Amino acid sequence: MNQDLTALVRKINDSAEFNRWCGFEVVTCAPGAVELAMPWRTEVGQYAGFLHAGVVSALIDTACGFAAATLVGPHLLAAHFSVNCLRPASGQRFIARARVVKPGKQQVFTACELFAVKNGTEKLVATGETLLTVLQSET
């Protein structure tokens, strides 16, 4: 079952141009939980050479959306998201681990932690959360 989930989520990930440009990789999927990774390269940097807050946000928002999609399917839109920047995000690789906090028919609450990997060691660099709206089918 998780293989089907992973295939579904990878398909969504591959269909998004920005995700492909960033190099997002869907590592693992389980019901209500997703791990998303991205290698560092200089194009995703801000002025001081850290990971740009927009890409921090993209990783968190995307992982949260995928976690929600494992439970309620892909017809979702982020309504609100927020990010806490705990430390300057610097590393060779970034891993976002998202989970569903509370699913629902109308909305799904999710949360995410973002880790930077440097010389094999993970460090928590940001946390975030996304509130997603389930699109009502118009039957």
Catalog residues that contact its own copies under the rule CB under 8 A.
12, 15-19, 21-22, 42-47, 52-55, 57-59, 61-62, 74, 77-88, 101-102, 106-107, 109, 111, 124, 127, 129, 131, 133, 136
Closest approach of its own copies to the CB of residue 116, in Å: 14
Pick between residue 28 and residue 133 the one whose CB is nearest to its own copies: 133
Closest approach of its own copies to the CB of residue 17, in Å: 5
Closest approach of its own copies to the CB of residue 29, in Å: 16
Pick between residue 34 and residue 59 the one whose CB is nearest to its own copies: 59
C-alpha to C-alpha distance for 107 and 101, rounded to whole angstroms: 11
- 94 by Cβ neighbours in 10 Å (0-12 / 13-18 / 19+) ranks as buried
Closest approach of its own copies to the CB of residue 73, in Å: 13
Q: Which is nearest to 86 in space by CA: 56, 124, 54? A: 124
Q: Quick check: 49 and 102 in contact, CB under 8 A?
A: no
Q: Encoding tokens for residue 111?
A: 């949360």
Pick between residue 2 and residue 84 the one whose CB is nearest to its own copies: 84
C-alpha to C-alpha distance for 104 and 137, rounded to whole angstroms: 15
* Start-end of H helices in the chain: 2-14, 17-22, 53-72
Pick between residue 3 and residue 136 the one whose CB is nearest to its own copies: 136
